[in-house]
Chain A
Amino acid sequence: MNEAIQLIIFMVLLIVLSPLLGKYMAKVFMGEKHFMKPVFGWLETSIYKVSGLKSEEEMNWKTYLYGVLLFNLFGMVFLFLIQMFQAYLPLNTEKLPNVSWHLSFNTAASFITNTNWQSYSGENTLSYLVQMMGLTVQNFVSAATGISVVLALIRGLTRKTTDALGNFWADMTRSVLYVLLPLSILLTIILVGQGAVQTFSHYVKATTLQGTQQIIPLGPAASQIAIKQLGTNGGGFFNANSAHPFENPTPFSNLLEMFSLIIISAGLVFTFGYYMKSKRQARAIFITMFILFALGLAISLWAEYSHNNVLNVAGSMEGKETRFGVMNSVLWSVTTTVTSNGSVNAMHDSLSPLSGLVAMFNLMLGEIIFGGVGSGLYGIIIFIILTVFIAGLMVGRTPEYLGKKIEAFEMKMAILAVLAPSIVIKLFSAVACSVPAGLAGLNNAGPHGLSEILYAFSSAAGNNGSAFAGLNANTVFYNLMIGFGMLIGRFGIIVPVMAIAGSMAKKKITPVSSGTFRTDNWLFVMLLISVILIVGGLTFFPPLALGPIVEHFLMNLGVTF
């Protein structure tokens, strides 16, 4: 009963608040008046002045993309370097040594791509300085990058016969100042009120009641946790991520963190609606995402509450926290994998096989069910283009989306964006399964071992960052493989998306007629869902069958490994 109420609260919050946030974001990005403008407007102008940029100067797709890539490159180099030399830098209260080159590379790639895969364990690897000036900064700007890229794509789809896709720096600035920062400030304060730590003190030595020594790690955690949730980043301040009592102290903080990780991605769908001047179009996309989300959640809940014959338990508590219970752990696992957040409040490695499968399948679909901030929306637009094309083939008409013709160039780019992450998942997993360095990292044997590897590369390619965390990924092999996987999964999509934005912007808009194939009705929703599931299903069914599916049947027989 309690479970049902919590589920309903979450869904109602999502459905009611995402259109409101979407409307606000539309005002922000379309340059209209909004209530945060008087608060941070002065800061916006000074950022433009200091950076020496003209915010009203619009860019073509190549200049915009150049800005994205360059900014990310510099961010990555900076983050790499401050880890490599953290021992010589200030705010290293615990005198932690420099981070190894491969872990620095992995973490830098992880944070600029909005993946936030944790090969590191925050509390014994990274100094406060790296957490603040490295990770927190990338939490903000990688999320803002996602929003900026989708804004460019949206402008490309809704403008006609132009080169202009907006100004990358202005989009970045507005995303940070008016969306991410105010929400983060609000969330930080509430989280600290619930018990999340926010301090620069040393770790504390305690003598426990039974007389042993316990070192309690502290740090400026809440400020980072807030943006890690809101920006669909997910990289924890502490190793246990949001299962850690300092990172997620109460059921209320849990609800807020879970809600924060989906709300901006959901809101952006409605922002898109304002650009298209069609709430119906936006609603169709939202409904598609919501149905896929709800389906996964239903399967996952059913699987987790079913009886496990090996452990003789229904609703196992392995890897779960008492204060959250089973329902909140499953709801979080599905929410964090449909969005590309990847933070966890329970360990996915210990979920039942089919709950693990749902999480993994969400990653494999390419993080398009709400998805990452910005990246989820441009991801699903790619699938919309595919769907429109397939529907066009079926009825024998030139495919169109929002009055724009979809032609060979857009299709090539869309296919590239779909293939890039799939290649990472299958090829890299295959390599890891065939070399000793890959198999050495396994924590579980049998089909679950395969799942650990498969999950790691799905998480990397989908820029999610959650893990079947038993896999020991802090090795040269995995740090490099996963690092490159994340970069391909991010920029292998951003580049074709920007190319599509550029080519769409140049096109004319054909007025709606009776012959127009509609993309705002139930028929389209069903088509889109089918395309998403068929592409995902066909691509990944074989490895999933060998991993979680076979494990499910073996578990029912009581087989252990």
Chain B
Amino acid sequence: MKTQTIIALKFLLVMTILTGIIYPLLMTGLAQLGFHSKANGSLIMKDGKIIGSELIGQKFDSTIYFWSRPSAIGYNPIPSGASNYGPTSDTLKKQVTARRVLFAKMNSLPDPLLTPKEMAFASGSGLDPHISPEAALMQVERVASARHFDSTQKEKLLKIIKEMTEDPQFLCLGESRINVLLLNLELNKIHQ
């Protein structure tokens, strides 16, 4: 029994070194060599400044931008999280109704219930970088008029949305989606 005790201690030490130090260090080394940008958070730089990460959604509620999804944490990633409201939650019901009404009003939809699901409900991480292509298309009119776009600029915007729509991965995995931050970056380029 005494020998087992000593073995247990030594074994824990060995495993800590192997799986707790060597393994993560080795993986970090490989990741940094093979996928430098992704391993460091897929950061987007502009004029030498970090403006965000491709994968981390940002809050967009201004009329001149495509809106991102509602977030329970207001897109503040420390820490990530969701509303965790249940399916019969009164608070959630009120929130969803308000979001639908707002989205419909701002984008001139005839009925609040036409609001896409992801624009009425908050995401799981609070940092969802995507919306559906439909939700983007519904916002085109508002964005274009807020930016006083002429018809060629609007055409260009529609083309960008089409180009930036990510189809399901390998044709069948996941959903069609569009990255809101990247879309808005492209949008800013049209304006200039």
Q: Which residues of A contact B (CB under 8 A)?
A: 2, 5-6, 9, 43, 47, 50-53, 63, 66-67, 70-71, 74-75, 78, 121-124, 132-134, 136-137, 139-141, 169, 172, 176, 181, 184-185, 188-189, 192-201, 203-210, 212, 214-218, 220, 222-224, 227, 238-240, 243-246, 249-252, 254-255, 308, 310-313, 315-325, 328-329, 344-347, 349-353, 356, 443-448, 451, 468-470, 551, 554-555, 559-561
Q: How far is the CA of A136 from the CA of B5 in the complex (A)?
A: 23
Q: Which listed residue, B58, B168, B169, touches A208 by the CB 8 Å rule?
A: B58
A63 closest partner in B (C-beta): B4
Complex interface: chain B residues within 8 A of A132 (CB): 20-21, 24
19 extra interface residue pairs, beta carbon distance < 8 Å, beyond A141-B15, A199-B28, A323-B130: A52-B10, A124-B78, A188-B30, A189-B31, A195-B38, A199-B40, A214-B76, A217-B78, A240-B127, A245-B128, A245-B129, A251-B174, A311-B87, A320-B121, A323-B175, A346-B124, A349-B84, A443-B84, A451-B86
Complex interface: chain A residues within 8 A of B51 (CB): 206-209
**A561-B88 CB under 8 A given contacts A181-B23, A322-B69:** yes
Asked if B86 and A349 sit within 8 Å, CB to CB, the answer is yes
Q: How far is the CA of A425 from the CA of B77 in the complex (A)?
A: 33
Q: Which of B101-109, B112-120, B150-158 contacts A (4 or more CB under 8 A)?
A: B112-120
Q: Which listed residue, A74, A245, A311, A316, touches B8 by the CB 8 Å rule?
A: A74
Asked if A223 and B24 sit within 8 Å, CB to CB, the answer is yes
B58 closest partner in A (C-beta): A208
Q: Which listed residue, B14, B60, B92, touches A318 by the CB 8 Å rule?
A: B92
Q: How far is the CB of B48 from chain A (nearest CB, A)?
A: 12
Complex interface: chain A residues within 8 A of B23 (CB): 136, 181, 184-185, 223
The interface size of chain B toward A, counting residues with CB under 8 Å, comes to: 97
Q: Which listed residue, B69, B77, B124, touches A216 by the CB 8 Å rule?
A: B77
Asked if A350 and B81 sit within 8 Å, CB to CB, the answer is no
Task: Say yes or no for B192: interface residue by CB 8 A criterion.
Answer: no
Contacting A at CB under 8 A, from B15-62, are: 15-16, 18-21, 23-24, 26-28, 30-32, 34-35, 38-43, 49-62
Asked if B173 and A251 sit within 8 Å, CB to CB, the answer is yes
Asked if B69 and A551 sit within 8 Å, CB to CB, the answer is no
Q: Which of B9, B28, B43, B59 has the most CB of A within 10 A?
A: B28
Asked if B124 and A319 sit within 8 Å, CB to CB, the answer is yes
Complex interface: chain A residues within 8 A of B34 (CB): 189, 192-193
**A193-B38 CB under 8 A given contacts A250-B174, A318-B121:** yes
Q: How far is the CA of A222 from the CA of B24 in the complex (A)?
A: 9
Q: Which of A43, A212, A243 has the most CB of B within 10 A?
A: A243
Asked if A243 and B82 sit within 8 Å, CB to CB, the answer is yes
Asked if A560 and B8 sit within 8 Å, CB to CB, the answer is no
A308 closest partner in B (C-beta): B87
Q: How far is the CB of B175 from chain A (nearest CB, A)?
A: 4
Asked if A197 and B41 sit within 8 Å, CB to CB, the answer is yes
Q: How far is the CA of A121 from the CA of B79 in the complex (A)?
A: 7
Complex interface: chain A residues within 8 A of B79 (CB): 121-124, 238-240
Asked if B83 and A319 sit within 8 Å, CB to CB, the answer is yes
Task: Say yes or no for B165: interface residue by CB 8 A criterion.
Answer: no
Complex interface: chain B residues within 8 A of A321 (CB): 123-125, 128, 130
Task: Say yes or no for B163: interface residue by CB 8 A criterion.
Answer: no
B55 closest partner in A (C-beta): A245
Q: How far is the CA of A316 from the CA of B169 in the complex (A)?
A: 22
Q: How far is the CB of B73 from chain A (nearest CB, A)?
A: 9
Q: Which listed residue, A63, A200, A214, A555, touches B88 by the CB 8 Å rule?
A: A555
Task: Say yes or no for B161: interface residue by CB 8 A criterion.
Answer: no
Asked if A244 and B80 sit within 8 Å, CB to CB, the answer is yes
Q: Which of A140, A227, A311, A561 has the most CB of B within 10 A?
A: A311
Asked if B12 and A74 sit within 8 Å, CB to CB, the answer is yes
**A71-B131 CB under 8 A given contacts A51-B7, A220-B24, A316-B87:** no
Q: How far is the CA of A312 from the CA of B43 in the complex (A)?
A: 38
B185 closest partner in A (C-beta): A209
A345 closest partner in B (C-beta): B124
Asked if A470 and B123 sit within 8 Å, CB to CB, the answer is no
Interface 0/1 of B87-106, CB less than 8 Å to A: 11110110010000000000
Asked if B174 and A214 sit within 8 Å, CB to CB, the answer is no
Q: How far is the CB of A360 from chain B (nearest CB, A)?
A: 13
Asked if A209 and B52 sit within 8 Å, CB to CB, the answer is yes
Q: Which of B38, B80, B132 has the most CB of A within 10 A?
A: B80
Q: How far is the CB of B179 from chain A (nearest CB, A)?
A: 10
Complex interface: chain A residues within 8 A of B24 (CB): 132, 136, 220, 223-224
Q: Which listed residue, A214, A217, A251, touches B169 by the CB 8 Å rule?
A: A251
Complex interface: chain A residues within 8 A of B50 (CB): 204-207
Q: How far is the CB of A55 from chain B (nearest CB, A)?
A: 11
Asked if B170 and A349 sit within 8 Å, CB to CB, the answer is no
